[in-house]
Structure 1
């Protein structure tokens, strides 16, 4: 598994600003977290889609291709960093 954090630089308040991915060896995302301005989270795994987050139907592009797009800033992260964000996303949706 690989783990990726992508900062999405834009001004649309309805879109997430941070994207977190757990990526399998086939380059498909297995779990995903989306963080919005104000601290709201969405997440997706298997067939579960919470707060509008969905897993991709296509393989993830290479980090270099993501970085080549001006509005995206990708960073490889550790499994532990992903798990912390995953935990926060789940807890934030249960506390509503």
Structure 2
């Protein structure tokens, strides 16, 4: 899966290799908002922006910059792309465990 990019204004940013904390935040997000309508939950919206910004780990890619610079019709697809990318990285590493079991939350 290709590394996600995000274009804000005339600048395109490429996601950095995610830190372990991003995986924890993604697990927590999925547990907390799995059964909620994301289009109607401001807390979920704020968490999505935080997760997206955290993936890029760039001072120019902030939740506010994403909110101001990303077209609305790109928000959920971009969040999904980032989530799937992080999950794919984790699953790829989990498959390397000797017993073949995947960690909880996968």
Q: Same fold (TM over 0.5)?
A: no
Say which structure is richer in helix.
2
Q: Which structure's CA Rg is the greater one?
A: 2
